[in-house]
Amino acid sequence: MTAAPTAYDKAATDATRGVAVELTGLHRSYGPVQALDDLNLRLAPGELVALLGPSGCGKTTALRCLAGLEDPDSGRIEVGGLDLTRVPTNKRDLGMVFQAYSLFPHMTARQNVEFGLQLRRQSSQQRRARAAEMLDLVGLSTQADRFAHQMSGGQQQRVALARALAIEPQVLLLDEPLSALDAKVRVQLRDEIRRIQLEVGTTTLFVTHDQEEALAVADRVGVMRSGRLEQIAAPEELYSRPVNDFVADFVGVTNRLPGDADAKSATVLGGSVPLLVGSATSGPVTVLVRPEHLVVHADPNGPDAVTSVSFLGAHGRVIVGLAAGGQAIVQVPSSAVSNYPPGTRVTVRPTGEAALAVSART
Protein backbone atom coordinates (compact mmCIF):
# COMPACT_ATOMS: atom_id res chain seq x y z
CA MET A 1 0.00 0.00 0.00
CA THR A 2 1.39 3.41 -0.92
CA ALA A 3 0.82 6.53 1.15
CA ALA A 4 -1.26 9.37 -0.33
CA PRO A 5 0.92 12.04 -1.98
CA THR A 6 1.68 14.96 0.33
CA ALA A 7 1.90 18.62 -0.63
CA TYR A 8 5.70 18.18 -0.65
CA ASP A 9 5.46 15.32 -3.17
CA LYS A 10 3.08 17.34 -5.31
CA ALA A 11 5.45 20.33 -5.36
CA ALA A 12 8.37 18.06 -6.17
CA THR A 13 6.45 16.58 -9.10
CA ASP A 14 5.31 19.97 -10.40
CA ALA A 15 8.75 21.55 -10.20
CA THR A 16 10.23 22.65 -13.47
CA ARG A 17 13.26 24.49 -12.07
CA GLY A 18 14.71 25.09 -8.65
CA VAL A 19 16.51 22.77 -6.29
CA ALA A 20 15.60 20.86 -3.15
CA VAL A 21 16.51 22.38 0.21
CA GLU A 22 16.91 20.39 3.38
CA LEU A 23 17.53 21.67 6.89
CA THR A 24 18.30 18.82 9.25
CA GLY A 25 18.49 18.98 13.04
CA LEU A 26 19.31 22.69 13.17
CA HIS A 27 20.13 24.10 16.57
CA ARG A 28 20.90 27.73 17.28
CA SER A 29 20.94 29.43 20.64
CA TYR A 30 21.65 32.98 21.78
CA GLY A 31 22.85 32.60 25.34
CA PRO A 32 20.02 30.92 27.24
CA VAL A 33 17.52 31.48 24.39
CA GLN A 34 17.04 28.50 22.11
CA ALA A 35 16.16 30.08 18.76
CA LEU A 36 16.19 26.83 16.80
CA ASP A 37 15.60 23.53 18.50
CA ASP A 38 16.14 20.54 16.24
CA LEU A 39 14.51 22.15 13.22
CA ASN A 40 13.88 19.84 10.29
CA LEU A 41 12.53 21.26 7.06
CA ARG A 42 12.45 20.09 3.45
CA LEU A 43 11.58 22.23 0.45
CA ALA A 44 10.84 20.50 -2.83
CA PRO A 45 12.35 21.97 -6.01
CA GLY A 46 10.32 24.98 -7.11
CA GLU A 47 8.21 24.98 -3.97
CA LEU A 48 7.25 28.07 -1.97
CA VAL A 49 7.19 27.34 1.74
CA ALA A 50 6.12 30.00 4.22
CA LEU A 51 7.33 29.91 7.80
CA LEU A 52 4.78 31.41 10.13
CA GLY A 53 4.91 32.01 13.83
CA PRO A 54 4.87 34.57 16.60
CA SER A 55 7.84 36.88 17.26
CA GLY A 56 10.84 34.99 18.61
CA CYS A 57 9.69 31.59 17.32
CA GLY A 58 12.88 31.17 15.26
CA LYS A 59 11.50 31.59 11.74
CA THR A 60 13.89 34.42 10.80
CA THR A 61 16.80 32.58 12.42
CA ALA A 62 16.02 29.55 10.26
CA LEU A 63 16.04 31.70 7.13
CA ARG A 64 19.24 33.48 8.16
CA CYS A 65 20.92 30.13 8.80
CA LEU A 66 19.91 29.02 5.31
CA ALA A 67 21.26 32.31 3.92
CA GLY A 68 24.53 31.86 5.82
CA LEU A 69 24.00 35.06 7.78
CA GLU A 70 23.89 33.03 11.01
CA ASP A 71 25.87 29.91 11.81
CA PRO A 72 23.85 27.07 13.32
CA ASP A 73 25.34 25.52 16.47
CA SER A 74 24.68 22.12 14.95
CA GLY A 75 22.73 20.54 12.13
CA ARG A 76 23.06 20.41 8.38
CA ILE A 77 21.94 22.64 5.52
CA GLU A 78 21.72 21.08 2.07
CA VAL A 79 20.82 22.90 -1.12
CA GLY A 80 20.57 20.88 -4.32
CA GLY A 81 22.24 17.97 -2.55
CA LEU A 82 25.29 20.01 -1.54
CA ASP A 83 26.20 20.60 2.09
CA LEU A 84 26.29 24.38 2.54
CA THR A 85 26.36 24.42 6.36
CA ARG A 86 29.74 26.15 6.58
CA VAL A 87 29.79 27.85 3.18
CA PRO A 88 29.92 31.68 3.42
CA THR A 89 26.87 33.66 2.32
CA ASN A 90 28.44 35.04 -0.84
CA LYS A 91 29.21 31.54 -2.12
CA ARG A 92 25.73 30.10 -1.55
CA ASP A 93 24.04 31.41 -4.68
CA LEU A 94 20.88 32.52 -2.89
CA GLY A 95 18.75 35.58 -3.52
CA MET A 96 17.30 37.43 -0.59
CA VAL A 97 14.74 40.16 -0.02
CA PHE A 98 14.83 41.79 3.39
CA GLN A 99 12.21 43.26 5.67
CA ALA A 100 14.07 46.60 5.76
CA TYR A 101 14.55 48.45 2.51
CA SER A 102 17.87 47.20 1.25
CA LEU A 103 18.47 48.92 -2.08
CA PHE A 104 21.92 50.47 -2.29
CA PRO A 105 21.10 54.18 -1.94
CA HIS A 106 23.90 55.37 -4.21
CA MET A 107 22.73 53.26 -7.14
CA THR A 108 19.74 53.52 -9.45
CA ALA A 109 17.20 50.70 -9.69
CA ARG A 110 19.01 49.36 -12.77
CA GLN A 111 22.43 49.52 -11.11
CA ASN A 112 21.01 47.71 -8.07
CA VAL A 113 19.71 44.90 -10.28
CA GLU A 114 23.01 44.77 -12.17
CA PHE A 115 25.09 44.57 -8.97
CA GLY A 116 24.97 40.77 -8.57
CA LEU A 117 25.54 40.27 -12.29
CA GLN A 118 28.58 42.54 -12.19
CA LEU A 119 30.03 40.36 -9.44
CA ARG A 120 29.49 37.39 -11.75
CA ARG A 121 31.55 39.20 -14.38
CA GLN A 122 28.79 39.47 -16.97
CA SER A 123 29.35 41.93 -19.80
CA SER A 124 27.65 45.30 -19.50
CA GLN A 125 25.39 44.39 -22.44
CA GLN A 126 24.26 41.17 -20.75
CA ARG A 127 23.77 43.01 -17.47
CA ARG A 128 21.65 45.71 -19.07
CA ALA A 129 19.50 43.19 -20.89
CA ARG A 130 18.98 41.09 -17.79
CA ALA A 131 18.25 44.13 -15.60
CA ALA A 132 15.69 45.36 -18.13
CA GLU A 133 14.09 41.91 -18.21
CA MET A 134 13.90 41.72 -14.42
CA LEU A 135 12.56 45.26 -14.00
CA ASP A 136 9.97 44.45 -16.61
CA LEU A 137 9.05 41.30 -14.68
CA VAL A 138 8.31 43.36 -11.57
CA GLY A 139 6.59 46.08 -13.61
CA LEU A 140 9.18 48.79 -13.05
CA SER A 141 10.85 49.16 -16.42
CA THR A 142 10.00 52.88 -16.44
CA GLN A 143 11.69 53.45 -13.07
CA ALA A 144 15.10 52.03 -14.02
CA ASP A 145 16.96 55.31 -13.54
CA ARG A 146 15.44 56.19 -10.19
CA PHE A 147 17.28 56.08 -6.90
CA ALA A 148 15.81 54.38 -3.85
CA HIS A 149 14.75 57.67 -2.26
CA GLN A 150 12.75 58.49 -5.39
CA MET A 151 10.66 55.32 -5.13
CA SER A 152 7.84 54.21 -2.83
CA GLY A 153 8.34 51.35 -0.36
CA GLY A 154 6.47 48.93 -2.62
CA GLN A 155 8.59 49.89 -5.63
CA GLN A 156 11.77 49.49 -3.60
CA GLN A 157 10.76 45.99 -2.54
CA ARG A 158 9.92 45.14 -6.15
CA VAL A 159 13.38 46.26 -7.25
CA ALA A 160 14.89 44.24 -4.39
CA LEU A 161 12.98 41.21 -5.68
CA ALA A 162 14.21 41.87 -9.23
CA ARG A 163 17.77 42.22 -7.89
CA ALA A 164 17.51 38.93 -6.00
CA LEU A 165 16.08 37.09 -9.01
CA ALA A 166 18.47 38.62 -11.56
CA ILE A 167 21.31 36.35 -10.46
CA GLU A 168 19.10 33.28 -11.05
CA PRO A 169 19.57 32.05 -7.49
CA GLN A 170 19.11 28.43 -6.51
CA VAL A 171 16.86 29.52 -3.66
CA LEU A 172 14.95 32.73 -3.02
CA LEU A 173 14.67 33.87 0.59
CA LEU A 174 12.02 36.38 1.57
CA ASP A 175 12.38 37.76 5.08
CA GLU A 176 9.08 39.51 5.82
CA PRO A 177 9.44 41.60 2.65
CA LEU A 178 5.94 43.06 2.92
CA SER A 179 5.74 44.00 6.57
CA ALA A 180 6.84 47.61 6.06
CA LEU A 181 4.20 48.25 3.40
CA ASP A 182 0.65 49.47 3.76
CA ALA A 183 -2.21 46.97 3.53
CA LYS A 184 -3.23 47.51 -0.09
CA VAL A 185 0.31 47.46 -1.51
CA ARG A 186 1.03 44.43 0.64
CA VAL A 187 -1.76 42.42 -0.98
CA GLN A 188 -0.76 43.53 -4.49
CA LEU A 189 2.89 42.72 -3.99
CA ARG A 190 2.07 39.44 -2.27
CA ASP A 191 0.15 38.28 -5.32
CA GLU A 192 2.92 39.55 -7.56
CA ILE A 193 5.56 37.62 -5.63
CA ARG A 194 3.52 34.45 -6.09
CA ARG A 195 3.03 35.12 -9.81
CA ILE A 196 6.75 35.73 -10.32
CA GLN A 197 7.75 32.74 -8.20
CA LEU A 198 5.51 30.46 -10.27
CA GLU A 199 6.89 32.01 -13.45
CA VAL A 200 10.57 31.55 -12.59
CA GLY A 201 10.09 28.37 -10.54
CA THR A 202 12.73 29.18 -7.93
CA THR A 203 12.52 27.29 -4.65
CA THR A 204 11.43 29.91 -2.13
CA LEU A 205 11.37 30.25 1.63
CA PHE A 206 9.08 33.02 2.80
CA VAL A 207 9.14 34.13 6.42
CA THR A 208 6.20 36.08 7.74
CA HIS A 209 4.15 36.65 10.85
CA ASP A 210 1.06 37.43 8.79
CA GLN A 211 -1.02 34.26 8.49
CA GLU A 212 -3.16 35.61 5.67
CA GLU A 213 -0.01 36.33 3.65
CA ALA A 214 1.37 32.85 4.32
CA LEU A 215 -1.88 31.07 3.50
CA ALA A 216 -2.35 33.11 0.33
CA VAL A 217 1.03 32.55 -1.34
CA ALA A 218 2.56 29.33 -0.07
CA ASP A 219 2.44 25.79 -1.38
CA ARG A 220 3.00 24.74 2.22
CA VAL A 221 2.99 26.67 5.46
CA GLY A 222 5.11 25.75 8.46
CA VAL A 223 3.99 27.00 11.84
CA MET A 224 6.85 27.45 14.29
CA ARG A 225 6.97 27.74 18.04
CA SER A 226 10.05 27.94 20.27
CA GLY A 227 12.44 27.00 17.48
CA ARG A 228 10.49 23.94 16.33
CA LEU A 229 8.05 23.23 13.54
CA GLU A 230 4.67 22.49 15.05
CA GLN A 231 3.09 21.60 11.73
CA ILE A 232 3.91 21.98 8.07
CA ALA A 233 1.16 21.39 5.55
CA ALA A 234 -0.72 22.84 2.61
CA PRO A 235 -2.69 25.96 3.65
CA GLU A 236 -6.11 24.24 3.46
CA GLU A 237 -4.89 21.31 5.53
CA LEU A 238 -3.23 23.55 8.09
CA TYR A 239 -6.42 25.54 8.48
CA SER A 240 -8.89 22.69 8.54
CA ARG A 241 -6.81 20.02 10.25
CA PRO A 242 -4.45 21.65 12.75
CA VAL A 243 -2.45 19.12 14.73
CA ASN A 244 -2.63 20.95 18.04
CA ASP A 245 -4.32 23.86 19.75
CA PHE A 246 -1.31 26.18 19.18
CA VAL A 247 -1.63 25.80 15.40
CA ALA A 248 -5.43 26.05 15.57
CA ASP A 249 -5.16 29.20 17.67
CA PHE A 250 -2.40 30.78 15.61
CA VAL A 251 -3.87 30.14 12.17
CA GLY A 252 -7.24 31.80 11.80
CA VAL A 253 -9.80 32.56 14.48
CA THR A 254 -10.82 29.74 16.76
CA ASN A 255 -13.57 29.32 19.34
CA ARG A 256 -12.59 27.29 22.37
CA LEU A 257 -15.85 25.64 23.35
CA PRO A 258 -16.48 23.16 26.17
CA GLY A 259 -17.70 19.71 25.07
CA ASP A 260 -17.78 16.02 25.86
CA ALA A 261 -15.74 13.66 23.71
CA ASP A 262 -16.87 10.18 22.90
CA ALA A 263 -14.39 8.27 20.74
CA LYS A 264 -14.63 9.90 17.29
CA SER A 265 -16.96 12.81 18.01
CA ALA A 266 -17.76 15.36 20.64
CA THR A 267 -20.94 17.07 21.74
CA VAL A 268 -20.63 20.85 21.56
CA LEU A 269 -23.43 23.43 21.99
CA GLY A 270 -25.99 20.65 21.68
CA GLY A 271 -24.59 19.38 18.35
CA SER A 272 -22.17 16.65 17.35
CA VAL A 273 -18.74 17.44 15.89
CA PRO A 274 -16.45 14.77 14.36
CA LEU A 275 -12.98 14.90 15.88
CA LEU A 276 -9.74 15.30 13.96
CA VAL A 277 -6.84 12.89 14.34
CA GLY A 278 -4.83 13.73 17.43
CA SER A 279 -7.83 14.94 19.42
CA ALA A 280 -8.55 13.98 23.00
CA THR A 281 -11.21 11.26 22.68
CA SER A 282 -12.88 10.95 26.05
CA GLY A 283 -14.35 13.01 28.83
CA PRO A 284 -14.65 16.77 29.07
CA VAL A 285 -12.71 18.49 26.30
CA THR A 286 -12.21 21.92 24.76
CA VAL A 287 -13.25 21.79 21.12
CA LEU A 288 -11.58 24.25 18.75
CA VAL A 289 -14.25 25.36 16.29
CA ARG A 290 -13.80 27.91 13.49
CA PRO A 291 -16.34 30.79 13.34
CA GLU A 292 -17.53 29.62 9.92
CA HIS A 293 -18.26 26.18 11.37
CA LEU A 294 -20.94 27.59 13.67
CA VAL A 295 -24.42 28.80 12.75
CA VAL A 296 -26.51 31.27 14.65
CA HIS A 297 -30.33 31.52 14.57
CA ALA A 298 -32.47 34.25 16.05
CA ASP A 299 -34.65 32.51 18.64
CA PRO A 300 -36.72 34.46 21.18
CA ASN A 301 -36.46 31.46 23.54
CA GLY A 302 -32.79 30.81 22.76
CA PRO A 303 -30.40 30.37 25.68
CA ASP A 304 -27.68 32.69 24.28
CA ALA A 305 -27.54 36.41 23.56
CA VAL A 306 -25.66 38.50 21.01
CA THR A 307 -23.13 40.77 22.73
CA SER A 308 -21.71 42.51 19.65
CA VAL A 309 -21.50 42.36 15.88
CA SER A 310 -18.86 43.52 13.44
CA PHE A 311 -19.05 44.13 9.73
CA LEU A 312 -15.89 42.97 7.95
CA GLY A 313 -16.74 43.60 4.30
CA ALA A 314 -17.37 40.24 2.63
CA HIS A 315 -18.73 38.78 5.86
CA GLY A 316 -19.57 39.73 9.39
CA ARG A 317 -18.97 38.33 12.85
CA VAL A 318 -21.52 37.91 15.57
CA ILE A 319 -20.19 37.51 19.09
CA VAL A 320 -22.55 35.54 21.25
CA GLY A 321 -22.49 35.25 25.06
CA LEU A 322 -23.15 31.59 25.80
CA ALA A 323 -25.52 30.51 28.55
CA ALA A 324 -23.02 27.79 29.49
CA GLY A 325 -20.34 30.43 30.01
CA GLY A 326 -17.79 32.02 27.68
CA GLN A 327 -18.53 33.31 24.23
CA ALA A 328 -18.63 32.15 20.62
CA ILE A 329 -17.65 34.02 17.47
CA VAL A 330 -19.90 33.10 14.55
CA GLN A 331 -19.26 34.10 10.96
CA VAL A 332 -22.34 35.23 9.02
CA PRO A 333 -22.87 36.69 5.56
CA SER A 334 -22.47 40.44 5.63
CA SER A 335 -26.11 40.84 4.55
CA ALA A 336 -27.18 39.07 7.76
CA VAL A 337 -25.22 41.23 10.18
CA SER A 338 -28.13 43.59 10.72
CA ASN A 339 -30.35 40.66 11.82
CA TYR A 340 -28.40 40.31 15.04
CA PRO A 341 -28.33 43.55 16.98
CA PRO A 342 -26.75 43.25 20.43
CA GLY A 343 -29.15 41.70 22.95
CA THR A 344 -30.90 39.43 20.38
CA ARG A 345 -31.72 36.02 21.85
CA VAL A 346 -30.14 33.32 19.68
CA THR A 347 -29.13 29.68 19.49
CA VAL A 348 -25.69 28.66 18.28
CA ARG A 349 -25.01 25.25 16.75
CA PRO A 350 -21.98 23.62 15.09
CA THR A 351 -22.30 22.85 11.37
CA GLY A 352 -20.75 19.44 11.85
CA GLU A 353 -17.32 20.13 10.32
CA ALA A 354 -14.50 18.15 11.93
CA ALA A 355 -12.62 19.96 14.72
CA LEU A 356 -9.74 19.39 17.08
CA ALA A 357 -10.48 18.65 20.73
CA VAL A 358 -7.93 19.07 23.48
CA SER A 359 -8.15 18.01 27.08
CA ALA A 360 -10.31 20.49 29.01
CA ARG A 361 -7.36 21.23 31.29
CA THR A 362 -5.28 22.92 28.53
Q: Tell whether residue 144 is a contact of another protein (CB under 8 A).
A: no
Residue type, 234: A
Which range binds another protein by CB under 8 A, 24-32, 114-122, 128-136, 254-262?
Answer: 114-122
Contact flag: residue 33 with another protein (CB under 8 A): no
Residue 110 within binding range of another protein, rule CB under 8 A? no
Binding of another protein by 164 (CB under 8 A):
yes
Q: Nearest 5°: phi and psi at 206?
A: -120, 115
Q: Determine contact, residues 348/322, Cβ cutoff 8 Å.
A: yes
Cα of first residue to Cα of last residue in the chain, in angstroms, is 37
Task: Select from 43-51, 112-120, 287-295, 336-344 the region that touches another protein (CB under 8 A).
Answer: 112-120
DSSP string, 56-68: TSSHHHHHHHHHT
Q: Is 95 in the site for another protein (CB under 8 A)?
A: yes
DSSP state, 90? G
When binding is defined by CB under 8 A, the residue of 5, 105, 274, 341 that contacts another protein is 105
Kindly tell me which residue out of 10, 115, 180, 188 binds another protein, with binding defined by CB under 8 A: 115
Longest dimension (CA), the chain: 79
Task: Give the one residue of 147, 180, 267, 331 binding another protein; rule: CB under 8 A.
Answer: 147
Least distance to another protein, CB of residue 118, Å: 9
Interacting span for another protein (CB under 8 A) from 54-62, 95-103, 187-195, 242-250: 95-103
Close Cβ partners of 52 (under 8 Å, ≥ 6 residues apart): 59, 208, 209, 210, 211, 214, 221, 222, 223, 224, 250, 251
CA-based nearest residue to 246, from 256, 260, 235, 258: 256
Pairwise CA distance, residues 265 & 350, whole Å: 12
> Does 163 interact with another protein (rule: CB under 8 A)?
yes
- Other CB atoms within a 10 A radius of the CB of residue 351 amount to 12
Binding to another protein in span 236-295, by CB under 8 A: none
The one segment of 88-96, 181-189, 191-199, 295-303 that binds another protein by CB under 8 A: 88-96
89 binds another protein (CB under 8 A): yes
Asked if 87 interacts with another protein (CB under 8 A), we say no
Q: Answer yes or no whether residue 168 interacts with another protein by CB under 8 A.
A: no
Select from 102, 143, 155, 156 the one that contacts another protein (CB under 8 A). 102
To another protein, the closest distance from the beta carbon of 75 in angstroms equals 20
Residue nearer to another protein on the CB measure, 104 or 311: 104
Q: Does 180 bind another protein (CB under 8 A)?
A: no
Among 287, 329, 290, CA closest to 310: 329
Q: Of the ranges 111-119, 206-214, 255-263, 348-356, which one interacts with another protein (CB under 8 A)? A: 111-119
Sequence-ordered strand ranges (E) for the chain: 21-30, 33-43, 48-52, 74-79, 82-83, 94-97, 171-175, 203-208, 220-225, 228-233, 255-262, 265-268, 271-274, 282-289, 294-298, 304-311, 315-321, 327-333, 345-350, 356-359
Residue nearer to another protein on the CB measure, 164 or 309: 164
Show the binding pattern over residues 55-84: x = contacts another protein (CB under 8 A), - = does not: ------------xxx---------------
Residues with Cβ within 8 Å of 123's Cβ and at least 6 positions away in sequence, in order, are none
β 203-208/74-79 pair status: unpaired
Task: Pick the closer one to another protein by CB: 121 or 361.
Answer: 121
Residues engaged in binding another protein (CB under 8 A): 67-69, 88-96, 98, 100-102, 104-106, 115-116, 119-120, 147, 149, 160, 163-164, 167, 173
